[in-house]
Structures are given as C-alpha cells and as structure tokens.
Amino acid sequence: MKNIYFDNAATTPLLPEVLEIIRKTLVNNYGNPSSIHKDGIAARSIIEENRRIISTSLNCSTSNIIFTASGTEASNLFFYNAIFKLGVKRIITSSVEHPCVLNTAKFYAERYNVQLDFVKLSIDYTYDLNHLHELLKFNDSLCLVSLMHVNNEIGLSNNIIALSKLVKTHNAYLHIDTVQSIGFSNIDTSALDVDFLNASAHKFYGPKGIGFAYLKEPGLIESQIFGGGQERNIRSGTENIGGIAGIGSALQYMEQNRSEINNHLRSINEYFRSELNKLPLKIEPIITDYNLSSPKILTVVFPHFKGSDLLVANLDIHGISASGGSACSSGTEKASHVLQFIKPNEKGKIIRFSFSIFNTIEEVDICINVLRTIFKKI
C-alpha cells in the first residue's frame, strides 16, 4: 500500500539536499561557534552565512534575524518583550490564531491583567479591518496587534500590506505570524511595516527544532533565556548549527524555486477540488475564493453520515495522512478551535488536506478512489 502524505501544513518532508547539508555540517563543523579558534570561527561563519540568506530573503539587515528553536518560541519572545520591555498594556488578536499566539495572549491577559481584544472576521473569514480600525481608534495605551498571514487550518491568506498600513496608522506594534507563508510568499520587510515576524523551518522542507524571529528593532529586545549571551544577547544557548544550516538551505531552495513550487501546489489543489466535486456526496471547500487561499491547503466539509467522525482514521488505514484537528496541541486529535469558531453548528466532518512538492496527481486519484469506496459503504 502506497503511503500518501497530505498533512504538509503540520510539517513537511525534509528535502534530500537539505538533509545532506545538515549531515555535512554536523560531521565537518563540530566546533562551538563561541570559540575563538579556527573550528569555532568556521562554525560561526556557517551561522552568519545562513543569517545572511534569511535577511536577503526578507530584504532586511542580518541584525534583524535571531535564530530560535521554533516559531512558537519566537512568538513568545515577542509577547514577553512587548509587555515587559516595550510597555504594551493591550493585545489585539483573533479567535482563529495558532495556539502559540492565542494561548500566549490569554496567559498575559489572565496573569498580568493585559487588556485582550479580538478582531472580528469578515464573511469570507479574512480579518474585518473596519472592526480593527474601531478597536484601535479608541486606544489609549500601547498596543500589540498579533495576527497571521496564512491560517494554518483553513489556508486563508490575509492582506498583510493593508493590515500593516492600518495598524501603523494607529502607532501600534505589529506581529504577523508568517509560519505558513515564509518561503511560499515574497515577504519584503522594507515594504511591510512590521515589528515582528516568526518562521519555522519544518514548514518549508527544512528540519524541526529550528526557526527564526525577525525583529524590526533588535536593540529594544531582551532575552527570555539567560546564559552565554548568544544571538546578540537575545537568545542564550549554544546555537543549533546543523539546524541553522538546514533552515538557510531550505529557504534558499524556496526562493530559487518559488514560482515552480506554487504552480505545482496550485495544480494539485485545483485538481483535488475538481475530483471532489465528482463524488456522490456534496463536499464544500471552506475557502471558496481561490484568490484568498494558500495553494498548499485545502480544507473541506464532508456531510454528516454514519462513520463520518472516523473519516480521518479510515483514510489513515488506507495509507493517507490528512488532518481533522490541530497537530500543534497534543498527540491526539482535538476539535479545532478555528473550525469550531467559524463553523460552530457544523455537523459534518471537516478535513484539511495540505500538499507539498512531493505530492502527485496520481496520489490525488488514489485518495479520491479511497473516499469513493468509503462512501459506497454508507
């Protein structure tokens, strides 16, 4: 039985060339980057070269990039500094954010009495910028707006240029969660007025355990982790040199092949949509406007039927990995807070199929045939 992986929004396979670069780095560059001998200097040069790759991608200075262990760690760094260093007394976010934003915002609201407000969604699930304007208009304290570019569960792509212009009109700090879009989208920080961005390598064919933070003004940021003062005294701890080599290599690959990659993902997505329409049950994408959707994510609503709650498990039995909940919360599938918010009365089964450069039309055909077989048993 062929294994088919349609859960690439949760994590992506490692590119073979990235794996080889990580292997060579770990074998040949084992010096501590903080050491001043030749082996330490060689390790340090790898870190700085990959920092340069990332800064070139974002069109910023190398001083704006700090390596972290994940996008989640980067988000926590932003919130911590916004509140304790920058004096933020109010957070504006939404109810459909990733847990690393939503749960962190709730923590500071509950523990430190920070005001927490939620921007509404428009009918197409994009952020209601008119409501955000109203929230910001009467702001009488320093505010952090923390919202995402591409939603990890439904694939909706928000207009971050319009978002940035609005937020900065009101002199608020802005964090945009770009974990699902870095590498796939052209993000130019010289054109996008944003204070904080975060990224995670394993979302774009790099290794797990490495991410980065973009800091508009790194001199205003202090470390949550104290020790040897690595990463410009913002993130202490011996650097993950293999991971850093991997994230730089993966992002460079994405930069060089972005158009081809997105065209491939779009073709898989569009074909999947068209084949779903041929099945005997009515299956509806959550994002119907393809212009608002990331090409790598297709989240659909299957009608309620006997056994629909076991649809993800049934697909898994047939060798197909897809998602019916959040993969970033625990080892068990939980009802998605995002899907519960936007579809509170939905009785059908909502499943996210997310694609990679390794997926093929043939795999879509196999998946459709499996679904057809399942539906025949209803």
Q: Which residues does 83 contact at the CB level (< 8 Å), separation at least 6? A: 108, 112, 114, 144
**Rounded-to-integer distance, Cα 5 and Cα 356, Å:** 9
* Selection from 191, 167, 152 nearest residue 93 by Cα: 167
b/e for 306-345, b at 16 or more Cβ within 10 A?
eebeebbebbeebebbbbbbbbbeeeeeeebbbbeebeee
Q: Going along 296-339, which residue ranges are E strands?
A: 297-302, 320-321
DSSP at 323: B
* Selection from 209, 145, 204, 148 nearest residue 176 by Cα: 148
Report residue 299 as tokens: 């989240």
Report residue 169 as tokens: 């009109």
Burial of 377 (0-12, 13-18, 19+ CB in 10 A): exposed
Sheet holding 284-285, edge to edge: 284-285, 297-302, 349-354
Asked if residues 137 and 170 have their Cβ atoms less than 8 Å apart, the reply is yes
Q: Which residues does 340 contact at the CB level (< 8 Å), separation at least 6? A: none
Q: Which of 60, 100, 143, 328 is catalytic?
A: 328
- Which element (helix H / strand E) includes 38? helix 38-58
User: What is the three-class DSSP state of 154?
Assistant: coil
Q: Judge whether 143 counts as a catalytic residue.
A: no
- Which residue numbers are catalytic? 328
